[in-house]
């Protein structure tokens, strides 16, 4: 198309590429691969496990401890199934007892298959037919209290050696909170083996937690000091309980008060930083949903009530792309009226790729540009069919776009159903990282980056491309632009499509943090208008400032008032007062077209 | 009429009865649910279950009373998620259509709105959805879970698991507010100190706690701050969350919980408003391992339940009522409690020998009316609540629950707050 200049193409391409790179990076960091065991080693481990289960008591315990050292996934699975009576003892030919793991899933008759522990294959009869067992008439490998303790210790020790640092940390803190001094030994053994600084800190913290129960005052004092130094939030409860004890020496009381005070301060700092981060992330969400509106309403002056539905188109596109990567997508609609005695029905079925693993999860990379395109396409159609007749009548554009929004909501219901649909998050976007106890969710970091990129992209488009120049010219004075030879029709349609496309991008992101349903757009339309109006109609910078400001204020008030509703009310009242003071918003633009 | 085996059976049964000694007649029965508006997603499933139960009873020969054999004729009205309209529709059912009994309502506010109508016109209502208790009308029979058949057994289970800290969170309306207040007192009674109950409190002028827990409005989407608070609360271990958040707000809540790395193993969430039907529209991947507590789970492994699900599926294939969705259907506790209600009423009518409201009520209150349904045996008590089994389950990736624990024959008790207050006062 002649109107899309090459420079624009380049800048658009650039920021889409950056978005991709950002996601790929976060995805890669989350692939802390759990290396698969070589098959030979697993076969040996399986044989030893099978023998251990039917072995004599003394041998059994030694064997369990040794197996635990292998850190194998199979061992963990079997050892945790054992005390739950899920190891079947099957009597094979010649009275040999074959242990097997009973499957969780049961069939229609309530029976389940069992996998032989020595080979991993399902138990089968002589003819090779898989056997099924009812839970009521089988003999399982029994455990007694002593054996269960051994199993638990083995499982705890294995959890400490888990390849994932997060899992190790959870296991360590679990031991730390167990209040069993016995566990100190396990933790101290693990300490020199541990390399991850975070996990090391957790071990020190857990040891100190367990030492709080020590009768020796010097150990107790050291433990309290240690916890204070580590700024251990989790220990606050226990420390307070210790301070309620009687007969503590004044020295210990002093240390205790110091540690508790230090931790309290630390919590305040964590909350402060966390609140600002959450404010920034909420602001970014507001910005992402409002930016499209800042173009269609702010620049073009159309009171676009269908903006929310453009967001929904983006979210549904993500859903469809997800399904195309999975089992496929199809729908059928029967219209409520008939033609010539026959009901009118049509449908569509798109086969899926049946992708799995990381290919399936990469659907989101494709969903982002597609949701932009689909929403832009819808915007294009709406502009041609409805809005182009209403540029001089803004109030009527309100009614017309509201009608369009109702029609689109009903379309969503007919195609996707009235219920919300499920959109799964790619693993790269689930999870978080902690810096000094403040947690940063990947999806939140992603939205902040995403918002920065689309703001830069929009700004580049408007100020550094010839299309941007034309857009600004047409929006300032449509007639004059037309007089000097600008094809205002084309500029209008492209601007509206671009604004709608931005809303579609917002939808793709919102599908990762909330609901996708026919009324998705309705929940964001008010927020979008609020952001644009507070920022100043027609000003992109204003929209950015308003979004971040409202988001941060909301989170700070939520934190200080302790209730999400009160926070929101205070924000809304302040906005009303603010608009009384500055009706034009933060950055009001004086322009003939807006007067 | 469209050809369908179900209808054919019904006609055949009716025809056979006509030739028998008893005379065949129809009895009008009301269905009062929201078939449009925000609650329609949940409530249409109950209408479907009721129609299924009626078809099943009619096909099996109807109800014998008053020396006649009655065939059930459903009168369906739409409450449209509009609470005053519920009262009007109830009035229409009782005064115009003169129905013998009404099955209906989902939200507590709709029940509270029809209650005066049923009391004035001496009607009979069966209410099927877990609720907060603290109510007893002589005209309403509650097949629903009372608080001591859902929330408190779940807390018992968590206490037994060794949980020491409890965070309360809910949507801001009567059911979560009342339930959380009861749970707060219940936890205090079981030796949980106040500082280990999270979510915050609101106190009246005398310092008495009148509201416990954190509340968000319907359709709330931003749970960042709350989840951060839960995370700090759970940092010291042995914590859990008691969740009475309703509707689709659960999606952002659970997505945030998953993103914050609060795993079900460390800090499980027990949800009281999420059953199989709701899980169809939730990202179950984020909910695996979280807990639920109901008096019925679709995964109950009994011949009665298997046969029930089989008959339900077969009915869905053949029925021809307008507006019944046929694909991807699940069965859950409110649906089964609706179904149980129909059979309890049938048993009471047959015991009383008449469809008259007063006689049926006396029969129901006698304590001898029971029904062995898909969830096990349900018996109506004199206090208008039922005795039934309670199950605790763990969510699986396929949207079903794995049953972890069963409490046998728990007797529903509507008034719990007063007893808890007395016990707390005695303990001080």
**DSSP class of residue B92?**
I
Residue B181, CA distances (Å) to A88, B169, B189, B217 in order: 46, 11, 13, 18
Tens-digit pLDDT profile for residues B105-117: 998 989 999 999 9
The residue in chain B having the minimum alpha-carbon distance to the alpha carbon of residue A422 is B283
Tens-digit pLDDT profile for residues B144-184: 999 999 999 999 999 988 899 999 999 998 899 999 999 99
Across A59-63, A462-466, B53-57, B318-322, least confident range:
A59-63
Domain membership flag for residue B224 = yes
Domain membership flag for residue A287 = yes
Hey, are the CB atoms on B283 and A422 less than 8 Å from each other? yes
* Number of other CB atoms surrounding residue A335 within 10 Å: 11
Q: Which residues in chain B are closer than 8 Å to A425, comparing Cβ atoms?
A: 255, 258, 283, 286
Domain membership flag for residue B385 = no
Hey, are the CB atoms on A565 and B172 less than 8 Å from each other? yes
Q: Which of B225, B259, B301 sits opposite A432 (nearest CB)?
A: B259
* Number of other CB atoms surrounding residue A449 within 10 Å: 16
- B349: tokens are 């009518």
Domain membership flag for residue B386 = no
Domain membership flag for residue A262 = no
Q: Which residues in chain B are closer than 8 Å to A515, comparing Cβ atoms?
A: 221, 248, 251-252
Average pLDDT value over all residues in chain A: 82
Same domain, A301 and A223: no
Please identify, among A185, A214, A248, the residue that sits at the C-terminal boundary of a domain. Answer: A248
Contact assessment for residue B28 and residue B100, using Cβ atoms and an 8 Å cutoff: yes
Domain total of chain B? 2
- B76: tokens are 């369906």
What pLDDT score was predicted for residue A86?
80
Average pLDDT value over all residues in chain B: 89
| Mean pLDDT along residues B203-228 | 89
Looking at per-residue confidence, does B234 or B325 come out higher? B234
| Mean pLDDT along residues A112-138 | 79
Hey, are the CB atoms on B237 and A234 less than 8 Å from each other? yes
| Strand locations in B79-230 (E) | 101-104, 125-127, 140-142, 165-171, 197-198, 201-203, 209-212, 214-216
Report the gap between the CA of A525 and the closest CA in chain B (Å). 14
Tens-digit pLDDT profile for residues A49-87: 888 888 877 788 888 878 877 777 788 888 888 877 788
Domain membership flag for residue B384 = no
Same domain, B26 and B98: yes
Q: Measured between alpha carbons, how far apart are the two ends of chain B, in Å?
A: 69
Tens-digit pLDDT profile for residues B42-60: 888 999 999 999 999 999 9
Tens-digit pLDDT profile for residues A213-245: 888 888 888 888 888 888 888 888 888 888 888
Domain membership flag for residue A575 = yes
Tell me how many degrees the CA angle A68-A74-A78 measures, rounded to the nearest 5.
80
> pLDDT-derived band of residue A1, with 50, 70 and 90 as boundaries?
very low
Hey, are the CB atoms on A108 and B221 less than 8 Å from each other? no
Report the gap between the CA of B49 and the closest CA in chain A (Å). 19
Hey, are the CB atoms on B236 and A234 less than 8 Å from each other? yes
User: pLDDT above 90 covers what percent of chain A?
Assistant: 29
Same domain, B71 and B180: no
Same domain, B333 and B411: no
Q: Which of B226, B237, B252 sits opposite A174 (nearest CB)?
A: B237
Which long-range contacts (C-beta less than 8 Å, at least 24 apart) are formed by B404-412? B404/B157, B404/B291, B405/B157, B407/B153, B409/B377, B410/B148, B410/B149, B410/B153, B411/B381, B411/B385, B411/B387, B412/B142, B412/B145, B412/B146, B412/B148, B412/B149, B412/B381, B412/B383, B412/B385, B412/B386, B412/B387, B412/B388
CATH of the domain at A513: 1.10.3470
Q: Which residues in chain B are closer than 8 Å to A174, comparing Cβ atoms?
A: 237, 266
CATH of the domain at B330: 3.40.50.2300
For testing contact with chain B, the best of A276, A515, A572 (most B CBs within 10 A): A515
Hey, are the CB atoms on A565 and B217 less than 8 Å from each other? yes
d(CA B103, CA B123): 11
pTM confidence score: 0.79
Which long-range contacts (C-beta less than 8 Å, at least 24 apart) are formed by A392-398? A394/A301, A394/A302, A394/A303, A395/A303, A397/A302, A397/A303, A397/A304, A398/A303, A398/A305
Tell me how many degrees the CA angle B133-B138-B141 measures, rounded to the nearest 5.
60
Looking at per-residue confidence, does B130 or A191 come out higher? B130
Same domain, A104 and A173: no
Q: Is pLDDT of A551 > 90?
A: yes
What pLDDT score was predicted for residue A25?
38
Hey, are the CB atoms on A234 and B228 less than 8 Å from each other? no
Q: Is pLDDT of B19 > 50?
A: no
What is the layout of strands, in order, in the sheet containing A97-102?
A: A87-91, A97-102, A114-116
The residue in chain B having the minimum alpha-carbon distance to the alpha carbon of residue A513 is B252
| Mean pLDDT along residues B340-368 | 95
Q: Is pLDDT of A440 > 80?
A: yes
> pLDDT-derived band of residue A275, with 50, 70 and 90 as boundaries?
very high
Domain membership flag for residue A342 = no
What pLDDT score was predicted for residue A357?
77
Same domain, A427 and A507: yes
**DSSP class of residue A124?**
B
Same domain, A458 and A540: yes
Hey, are the CB atoms on A278 and B263 less than 8 Å from each other? no
Looking at per-residue confidence, does B36 or B405 come out higher? B405
- Which residue do the tokens 């924000």 mark? A571
B232 touches chain A (CB under 8 A): yes
Report the gap between the CA of A37 and the closest CA in chain B (Å). 25
Hey, are the CB atoms on A444 and B224 less than 8 Å from each other? yes
Same domain, B351 and B399: no
| Mean pLDDT along residues A363-376 | 94
What pLDDT score was predicted for residue A31?
35
What pLDDT score was predicted for residue A382?
94
Same domain, A182 and A299: no
Same domain, A454 and A569: yes
The three-state secondary structure class of A87 is: strand
A343 beta partners: A338
Same domain, B341 and B288: no
- B354: tokens are 């008449």
Same domain, A536 and A474: yes
Residues in chain B: 428
Domain span holding position A389:
270-331+351-594
> pLDDT-derived band of residue B428, with 50, 70 and 90 as boundaries?
low
Same domain, B191 and B162: yes
Domain membership flag for residue A27 = no
Hey, are the CB atoms on B259 and A444 less than 8 Å from each other? yes
Q: Is pLDDT of A90 > 90?
A: no
What pLDDT score was predicted for residue B320?
84
Q: Which residues in chain A are closer than 8 Å to B228, comparing Cβ atoms?
A: 271, 274, 278, 439
Hey, are the CB atoms on B248 and A431 less than 8 Å from each other? no
Hey, are the CB atoms on A432 and B260 less than 8 Å from each other? yes
Q: B338: Cβ–Cβ under 8 A, 6 or more apart, which residues?
A: B46, B49, B50, B53, B103, B126, B128, B143
- A89: tokens are 């003892």
Q: Which residues in chain A are closer than 8 Å to B192, comparing Cβ atoms?
A: none
Same domain, A238 and A278: no
Contact assessment for residue A238 and residue A178, using Cβ atoms and an 8 Å cutoff: no
- Which residue do the tokens 């906005």 mark? A575
Hey, are the CB atoms on B258 and A419 less than 8 Å from each other? no
Q: Which of A237, A274, A443 sits opposite B259 (nearest CB)?
A: A443
Residue A539, CA distances (Å) to A211, A216, A583 in order: 60, 67, 14
Q: Which residues in chain B are closer than 8 Å to A551, comparing Cβ atoms?
A: none
Number of helices and strands in chain A (H, E): 22, 9
Hey, are the CB atoms on A104 and B402 less than 8 Å from each other? yes
Same domain, A110 and A200: no
DSSP string, A390-409: -TT-HHHHHHHHHHHHHHHH
Q: Of B99, B35, B52, B81, which is closest to residue B336 (Cα–Cα)?
A: B52
Same domain, B44 and B162: no
> pLDDT-derived band of residue B14, with 50, 70 and 90 as boundaries?
very low
The residue in chain B having the minimum alpha-carbon distance to the alpha carbon of residue A418 is B41
Same domain, B38 and B112: yes
> What region, left, alpha or beta, does residue B393 occupy, with left being phi > 0 and alpha being psi -120 to 50 degrees?
beta
Residue A21, CA distances (Å) to A26, A198, A429, A449, A450 in order: 9, 27, 14, 11, 12
Domain membership flag for residue A341 = no
d(CA B416, CA B132): 10
What pLDDT score was predicted for residue A28?
35
d(CA A103, CA A112): 6
Q: Which residues in chain A are closer than 8 Å to B284, comparing Cβ atoms?
A: 422
Contact assessment for residue A500 and residue A379, using Cβ atoms and an 8 Å cutoff: yes
Domain membership flag for residue B96 = yes
Q: Is pLDDT of A331 > 70?
A: yes
Q: Is pLDDT of A15 > 70?
A: no
Domain membership flag for residue B216 = yes
What pLDDT score was predicted for residue B59?
94
Same domain, A212 and A133: no
Q: Of B22, B21, B6, B20, which is closest to residue B54 (Cα–Cα)?
A: B6
Q: Which residues in chain B are closer than 8 Å to A236, comparing Cβ atoms?
A: 236
Report the gap between the CA of A229 and the closest CA in chain B (Å). 17
Contact assessment for residue A459 and residue A15, using Cβ atoms and an 8 Å cutoff: no
Q: Which residues in chain B are closer than 8 Å to A555, comparing Cβ atoms?
A: 224-225
Residue B151, CA distances (Å) to A459, B156, B201, B292 in order: 53, 9, 19, 10
What pLDDT score was predicted for residue A136?
65
d(CA A23, CA A320): 20
Please identify, among A114, A145, A176, the residue that sits at the C-terminal boundary of a domain. Answer: A145
Looking at per-residue confidence, does B36 or A379 come out higher? A379
> pLDDT-derived band of residue A392, with 50, 70 and 90 as boundaries?
confident
Domain membership flag for residue B371 = yes
Distance from CA of residue B407 to its chain's centroid? 17
Hey, are the CB atoms on B217 and A513 less than 8 Å from each other? no
Domain membership flag for residue A372 = yes
Contact assessment for residue B390 and residue B406, using Cβ atoms and an 8 Å cutoff: yes
Q: Which of A106, A281, A429 sits opposite B224 (nearest CB)?
A: A281
User: pLDDT above 90 covers what percent of chain B?
Assistant: 62
What pLDDT score was predicted for residue A210?
87
Report the gap between the CA of B165 and the closest CA in chain A (Å). 11
d(CA B76, CA B87): 14
Residues in chain A: 595
d(CA B416, CA B133): 8
Same domain, A371 and A239: no
Tens-digit pLDDT profile for residues A18-41: 443 444 333 333 333 334 455 667
Interface size, chain A vs chain B, as Cβ–Cβ contacts under 8 Å: 117
Report the gap between the CA of A224 and the closest CA in chain B (Å). 15
Looking at per-residue confidence, does B411 or B11 come out higher? B411
For helices A466-476 and A488-510, angle between their N-to-C axes, nearest 10 degrees: 110
The residue in chain B having the minimum alpha-carbon distance to the alpha carbon of residue A443 is B259
Same domain, A240 and A278: no
What pLDDT score was predicted for residue B193?
92
* Number of other CB atoms surrounding residue A48 within 10 Å: 18
B281 touches chain A (CB under 8 A): yes
Distance from CA of residue B105 to its chain's centroid? 10
Residue A400, CA distances (Å) to A306, A384, A388, A519, B189 in order: 9, 13, 11, 18, 60
d(CA B406, CA B387): 14
- B56: tokens are 């099943």
Domain span holding position B278:
148-298+391-427
B41 touches chain A (CB under 8 A): yes
Residue A575, CA distances (Å) to A209, A305, A549, A570, A585 in order: 48, 21, 11, 9, 10
> What region, left, alpha or beta, does residue B290 occupy, with left being phi > 0 and alpha being psi -120 to 50 degrees?
beta
**Burial of B232 per CB tally in 10 Å (0-12, 13-18, 19+):** middle
The residue in chain B having the minimum alpha-carbon distance to the alpha carbon of residue A239 is B236
Same domain, B170 and B266: yes
**Burial of B134 per CB tally in 10 Å (0-12, 13-18, 19+):** middle
Domain membership flag for residue A265 = no
Distance from CA of residue A317 to its chain's centroid? 18
Same domain, B71 and B207: no
- B343: tokens are 């059979």
Same domain, B107 and B189: no
Domain membership flag for residue B383 = no
Domain total of chain A? 3
Q: Is pLDDT of B407 > 70?
A: yes
> pLDDT-derived band of residue B262, with 50, 70 and 90 as boundaries?
confident
For testing contact with chain A, the best of B236, B249, B393, B396 (most A CBs within 10 A): B236
- A442: tokens are 């990947």
- A114: tokens are 């069992």
Same domain, B91 and B114: yes
Q: Is pLDDT of A12 > 70?
A: no
């Amino acid at each position: 198309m002649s109107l899309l200049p090459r420079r624009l193409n380049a800048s658009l391409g650039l920021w889409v590429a950056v978005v991709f790179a950002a996601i790929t990076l976060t995805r890669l960091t989350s692939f802390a691969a759990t290396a698969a065991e070589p098959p030979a080693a697993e076969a040996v481990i399986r044989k030893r496990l099978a023998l251990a289960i039917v072995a004599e008591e003394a041998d059994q315990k030694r064997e369990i401890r040794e197996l635990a050292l292998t850190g194998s996934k199979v061992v963990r699975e079997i050892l945790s199934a054992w005390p739950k009576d899920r190891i079947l003892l099957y009597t094979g030919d010649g009275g040999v007892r074959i242990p097997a793991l009973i499957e969780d899933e049961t069939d229609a008759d309530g029976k389940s298959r069992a996998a032989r522990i020595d080979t991993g294959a399902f138990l089968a009869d002589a003819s090779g037919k898989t056997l099924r067992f009812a839970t009521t008439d089988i003999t399982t490998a029994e455990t007694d209290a002593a054996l269960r303790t051994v199993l638990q210790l083995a499982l705890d020790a294995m959890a400490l050696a888990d390849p994932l640092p997060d899992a190790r940390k959870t296991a360590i803190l679990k031991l730390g909170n167990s209040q069993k001094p016995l566990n100190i030994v396990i933790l101290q053994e693990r300490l020199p083996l541990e390399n991850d600084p975070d996990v090391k800190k957790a071990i020190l913290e857990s040891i100190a937690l367990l030492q709080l129960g020590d009768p020796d005052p010097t150990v107790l004092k050291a433990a309290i000091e240690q916890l204070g130094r580590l700024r251990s939030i989790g220990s606050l409860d226990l420390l307070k309980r210790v301070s309620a004890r009687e007969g503590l020496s004044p020295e210990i009381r002093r240390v205790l008060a110091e540690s508790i005070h230090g931790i309290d301060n630390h919590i305040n700092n964590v909350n402060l930083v966390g609140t600002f981060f959450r404010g920034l992330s909420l602001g970014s969400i507001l910005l992402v949903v409002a930016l499209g509106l800042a173009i269609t309403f702010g620049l073009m002056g159309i009171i676009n009530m269908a903006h929310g539905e453009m967001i929904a188109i983006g979210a549904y596109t993500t859903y469809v792309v997800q399904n195309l990567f999975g089992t496929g997508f199809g729908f059928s609609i029967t219209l409520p009226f008939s033609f010539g005695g026959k009901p009118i029905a049509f449908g569509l079925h798109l086969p899926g790729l049946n992708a799995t693993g990381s290919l399936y999860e990469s659907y989101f990379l494709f969903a982002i540009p597609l949701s932009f395109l689909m929403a832009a396409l819808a915007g294009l159609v709406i502009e041609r069919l409805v809005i182009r007749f209403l540029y001089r009548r803004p109030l009527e554009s309100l009614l017309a776009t509201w009608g369009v929004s109702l029609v689109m909501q009903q379309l969503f219901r007919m195609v996707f159903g009235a219920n919300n649909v499920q959109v799964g998050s790619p693993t790269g976007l689930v999870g978080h990282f902690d810096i000094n106890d403040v947690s940063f969710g990947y999806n939140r970091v992603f939205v902040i980056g995403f918002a920065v990129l689309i703001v830069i992209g929009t700004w580049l488009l408007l100020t550094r491309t010839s299309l941007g120049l034309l857009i600004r010219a047409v929006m300032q004075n449509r007639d004059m632009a037309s007089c000097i030879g600008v094809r205002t029709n084309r500029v209008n349609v492209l601007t509206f499509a671009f604004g709608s496309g931005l809303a579609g991008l917002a939808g793709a992101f919102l599908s990762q943090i909330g609901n996708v349903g026919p009324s998705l757009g309705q929940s964001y339309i008010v927020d979008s208008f609020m952001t644009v109006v507070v920022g100043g109609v027609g000003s992109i910078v204003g929209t950015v400032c308003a979004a971040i400001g409202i988001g941060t204020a909301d989170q700070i008030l939520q934190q200080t008032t302790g209730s999400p509703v009160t926070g929101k009310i205070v924000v809304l009242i302040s906005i009303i007062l603010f608009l009384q003071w500055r009706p034009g918003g933060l950055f009001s633009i004086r322009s003939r077209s807006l007067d | 009429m469209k050809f369908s085996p179900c209808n054919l059976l019904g006609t055949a049964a009716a025809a056979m009865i006509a030739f028998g000694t008893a005379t065949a007649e129809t009895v009008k029965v009301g269905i009062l649910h929201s078939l449009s508006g925000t609650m329609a997603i949940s409530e249409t499933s109950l209408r479907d279950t009721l129609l299924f139960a009626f078809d099943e009873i009619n096909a099996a020969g109807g109800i014998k009373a008053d020396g006649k054999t009655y065939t059930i004729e459903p009168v369906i009205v739409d409450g449209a998620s509009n609470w005053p309209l519920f009262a009007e529709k109830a009035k229409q059912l009782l005064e115009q259509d003169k129905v013998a009994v009404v099955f209906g309502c989902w939200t507590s506010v709709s029940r509270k709105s029809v209650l005066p109508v049923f009391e004035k016109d001496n009607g009979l209502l069966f209410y099927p959805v877990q609720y907060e208790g603290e109510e007893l009308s002589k005209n309403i029979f509650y097949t629903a879970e009372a608080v001591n058949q859902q929330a408190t057994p779940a807390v018992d289970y968590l206490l037994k698991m060794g949980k020491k800290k409890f965070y309360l969170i809910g949507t801001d309306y009567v059911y979560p507010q009342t339930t959380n207040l009861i749970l707060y007192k219940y936890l205090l009674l079981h030796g949980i100190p106040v500082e280990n109950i999270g979510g915050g409190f609101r106190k009246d002028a005398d310092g008495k706690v009148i509201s416990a827990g954190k509340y968000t409005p319907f359709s709330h989407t931003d749970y960042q701050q709350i989840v951060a608070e839960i995370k700090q609360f759970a940092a010291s271990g042995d914590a859990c969350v008691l969740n009475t958040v309703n509707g689709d707000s659960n999606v952002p809540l659970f997505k945030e919980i998953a993103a914050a790395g609060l795993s079900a193993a460390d800090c499980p969430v027990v949800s009281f408003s999420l059953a199989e039907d709701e899980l169809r529209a939730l990202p179950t991947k984020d909910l695996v391992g979280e807990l639920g507590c109901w008096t019925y789970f679709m995964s109950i492994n009994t011949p009665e339940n298997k046969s029930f699900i089989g008959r339900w599926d077969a009915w869905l294939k053949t029925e021809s009522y307008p507006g019944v969705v046929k694909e991807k259907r699940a069965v859950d506790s409110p649906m089964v409690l609706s179904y149980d209600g129909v059979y309890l009423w049938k048993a009471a009518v047959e015991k009383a020998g008449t469809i008259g409201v007063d006689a049926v009520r006396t029969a129901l209150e006698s304590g001898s009316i029971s029904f062995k349904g898909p969830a096990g045996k349900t018996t109506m008590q004199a206090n208008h609540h039922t005795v039934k089994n309670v199950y605790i389950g763990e969510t699986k990736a396929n949207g079903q629950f794995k049953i972890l624990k069963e409490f046998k024959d728990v007797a529903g008790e509507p008034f719990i707050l007063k007893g808890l207050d007395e016990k707390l006062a005695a303990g001080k």
